[in-house]
Amino acid sequence: MTELAPDVLAQPLSLRSGGRLANRLAKASMEEALGDASCDPTTELDTLYRRWAQGGAGLLLTGHVIVDRPHRARPRDVVLDGASDLGAFARWASSAASGSTQTWVQLNHCGRQTPRFVHAAPLAPSAVPAVKMLATFAKPVAMSEAEVEAVVDAFAFAARAAQGAGFAGVEIHAAHGYLLSQFLSPRTNLRTDRWGGSIENRSRLLIEVVRAVRAATGDHFGLGVKINAADFQRGGFDADDFAHVAVQLDREGIDVLEVSGGNYEAPVLLGHDGDEAPAKDRATERTRSREAYFLELARAVRGLVEVPLMLTGGMRSRAGMEQARAEGIDVVGIARPLAVDPTFAARILARETDGIAMPRLDVPRRLGALADASWYALQLARMGRGLDPDRDMSAWSAMLRYVGQDLLQAMTTSKRSLAPVSRGGSQRYAPPVTEISAT
Ligand SMILES: Cc1cc2nc3c(=O)[nH]c(=O)nc-3n(C[C@H](O)[C@H](O)[C@H](O)COP(=O)(O)O)c2cc1C
C-alpha cells in the first residue's frame, strides 16, 4: 500500500474543466422525487440542498433529473426540458451553492426501467422482455434512429439549461440499467444498426451524449459520467466492456468517472445480490468486505485511464475511504449515510468520527432493494420539510407509503408532465397510461 499523507480525504481536486473540488468526498446521487405536479423543483429541494451544502462534501450530485418527460422512474421526478420552470432550477442551484461545495445535476432517461404507471410503452434500445418486478414494468418499444438521436439532443438541452440555472456541472447517468446503460448492455441492446452489436456501437450513444453536452456547455463546465463496472447479469455489460468504455470516456476528457454496478434486476449498487448474478460474481460479492462494493473492479481500470475515478457503494468508514484513496480512487461517493446524517462528510473530514453504523432494515432478502429505496427516499423527504432524519422509521411502513404515494402521484401529476416536449425531432410515443384511462 502506498504511503499517503493523512489528509488524503481533505485534499482538493483540480478538474480538467478548470473547476476545483474542495475535498475528496462526494454526495452520490439519490433520487428525491420532490418535483411538483409539473415535475419542476419544489422548495423542499432547496431546503434539502441547503442542508447538504453545509454538510462538508466537496461535490453534491443531485438525484436524477429526467431529460425526457415520459421516461421518469417516479411520477414526481424532476424533469429538465423545454417546458421546465427554469426559475425553480435557478432557485435550487443557488440553495445548493451555499458552502464550499459545488453541485452537479445528474441527468437521466429511464428507458425500460420506466414503470407502467408512468408510461405504458417506454422506449428502449430493443423490445426485450419487461423488467421482471411484479407487474410494475411494461415491455419496452424499440427506438427508431430518430428517437435515438432525439436522446442526444435532450441530454444536451438539459445540460445547457442546468448551466444556465447556475449549477456547476452535470453527471450523465449511464449506470444502473437506465437507458444509456441499456444501450451499453448486450443483454438489453439487440440492435443490428450502428447503435448495437460491438462495444464501439453499444457505447456510441453515451459518447455522442458526452460530446453533445460538451458542445452545448463549453469546456469550462463540470462533466461526469456514472457507469457500471459490471451489470452482474448473465450476458450483460461486463468488466471488459467497462475497461473499453472507461478508456473512451477518458479520451473524451470528462472530469470524473463514477463507478457503480447493477440495475433493478440485480440491485448490486445497494449491496444486494441479483438472482441472476453469475455464481462467481455472487461469491466474490459475498467474500468482499461490506465496504467499497466495486473497488476491485474500479482498480482494474486504474492503470488504463487518467480520468479521476469516483467510487460509490458501501463506503462507511474513514479507514475504508482512505484505503480506496490508497488504491487509486480519487473521489469517494457516499449516498445512504448522508440521508441519515447530512453532516457525515464534515464529521469524517474533521476526524470527529471514524465511520457510521447504518440502520438494519429488517425485511426479507427479496424486498431489500425496495426497502432501501423507500426508507431512504422518505428520509430525504423529511429533510426537505426541514425535519431531521428518523432512524427509527419502520421499513415496512416506509415501503407501503412509498408505493402508495407513487400510485397516488401518478394520478395527480399533470398531463403536461406526461407528454414529451418535442424539440424538432420526429418523436413517436405511445400515449401514457393515465391519458388512456382519462378519455
Ligand atoms: C433512495 C435512493 C435513491 C437513489 N437514486 C439514485 C439516482 O437517482 N441516481 C443514481 O445514480 N444513483 C441513485 N442511487 C444509488 C446511489 O447513488 C449509490 O450508488 C448507492 O446508494 C450506493 O451507495 P451507498 O452505499 O453510499 O448508499 C440511489 C440510492 C438510494 C438509496
Taking only the tens of pLDDT, the chain with its 439 residues reads 555 556 999 999 999 999 999 999 999 999 999 999 999 999 999 999 999 999 999 999 999 999 999 999 999 999 999 999 999 999 999 999 977 899 999 999 999 999 999 999 999 999 999 999 889 999 999 999 999 999 999 999 999 999 999 999 999 999 999 999 999 999 999 999 999 999 999 999 999 999 999 999 999 999 999 999 999 999 999 999 999 999 999 999 999 999 999 999 999 999 987 655 555 555 344 434 568 999 999 999 999 999 999 999 999 999 999 999 999 999 999 999 999 999 999 999 999 999 999 999 999 999 999 999 999 999 999 999 999 999 999 999 999 999 999 999 998 886 666 666 654 333 333 333 333 233 2
Residues 371 and 379 sit within 8 Å (Cβ to Cβ): no
Does the CB atom of residue 376 touch ligand 1 within 6 A? yes
pLDDT computed for residue 59 by the predictor: 98
Do 304 and 297 meet the contact criterion of CB atoms below 8 Å apart? Answer: no
H or E element at residue 381: helix 368-384
- Helix (H) / strand (E) containing 224: strand 222-228
DSSP 31: -
Q: How does 215-232 read in b/e, with b if 16+ C-beta sit within 10 Å? A: ebbeeebbbbbbbbbbbb
What residue type is 339 in one-letter code? A
Pocket test for ligand 1, best of 113, 228, 312 (most atoms within 8 A of CB): 312
Q: What's the gap between Cα 281 and its chain centre?
A: 22
Alpha helices by DSSP H, listed for 166-197, are: 179-184
d(CA 357, CA 297): 25
CA 266 to chain centre: 15
Angle, helix 204-217 to helix 239-252, in steps of 10 degrees: 20
Residue the block writes with cell 438521436: 149
- Nearest alpha carbon, ligand 1 atom 11: 29
Residue type, 247: V
Q: What is the pLDDT of residue 412?
A: 86
Instruction: Give pLDDT, residue 134.
Output: 84
Instruction: Find the 145 Cα to ligand 1 centroid distance in Å.
Output: 31
- Which of 60, 114, 66, 123 has the alpha carbon at shortest distance from 92? 60
Give the Cα separation of 222 and 7 in Å (integer): 24
Q: Is 14 exposed, middle or buried (0-12, 13-18, 19+ CB in 10 A)?
A: exposed
pLDDT of residue 418: 61
Which residue, among 25, 119, 16, 23, has the nearest Cα to 66 in the 3D structure?
A: 119
Q: What is the DSSP string of 255-287?
A: SEEEEE---SSS-GGGTPPPTTS-HHHHHHHHH
Task: Write the CA distances from 94 to 29, 44, 101, integer angstroms.
Answer: 18, 14, 12
Q: What is the DSSP letter of 198?
A: S
H or E segment to which residue 202 belongs: helix 199-202
What is the 12 CA–ligand 1 centroid distance (Å)? 24
Please tell me whether residue 158 adopts helix, strand or coil conformation.
Answer: helix
Neighbours of 391 (CB within 10 A): 12
335 Cα: distance to centroid of ligand 1 (angstroms): 6
Q: Is the CB of 291 under 6 A from ligand 1?
A: no
Nearest to 329 by CA among 62, 106, 24, 103: 24
pLDDT in the model for residue 377: 98
**Measured CA angle at 356 (ends 351, 360), to 5 deg:** 175
pLDDT at position 380: 98
- For residue 181 and ligand 1, the question of a CB distance below 6 A is answered with no
Distance, in Å, from the CA atom of 401 to the CA atom of 407, rounded to the nearest integer, reads 10
Q: Burial, 439: exposed, middle or buried (Cβ in 10 Å; 0-12, 13-18, 19+)?
A: exposed
**pLDDT for 276:** 58
Ligand 1 near 336 CB (within 6 A): yes
DSSP strands (E only) in 273-344: 309-312, 331-334
- DSSP letters spanning 103-146: EEEEEE--GGGSBTTT-SS-EESS-PPPP-BTB-BPPPEEPPHH
Q: Is residue 329 within 8 Å of residue 257, measured between CB atoms? A: no
Residue 373 beta carbon below 6 angstroms from any ligand 1 atom: yes
Which residue has a Cα nearest atom 12 of ligand 1? 29
Closest ligand 1 atom to the C-alpha of 73?
A: 8
**Could you tell me if the CB of 61 is within 6 A of ligand 1?**
no
Q: Measured from the CB, is residue 32 less than 6 Å from ligand 1?
A: no
Mutating to test ligand 1, I would choose from 108, 336, 374 the residue with most ligand atoms within 8 A of its C-beta, which is: 336
**Closest to 106 measured CA to CA, from 91, 96, 114:** 96
Pocket test for ligand 1, best of 25, 27, 30, 372 (most atoms within 8 A of CB): 30
Q: What is the pLDDT of residue 287?
A: 39
In this structure, what C-alpha cell is assigned to residue 438? 382519462
Q: Does residue 109 line the site of ligand 1, with CB under 6 A?
A: no
Which atom of ligand 1 has the smallest separation from the CA of 333?
26
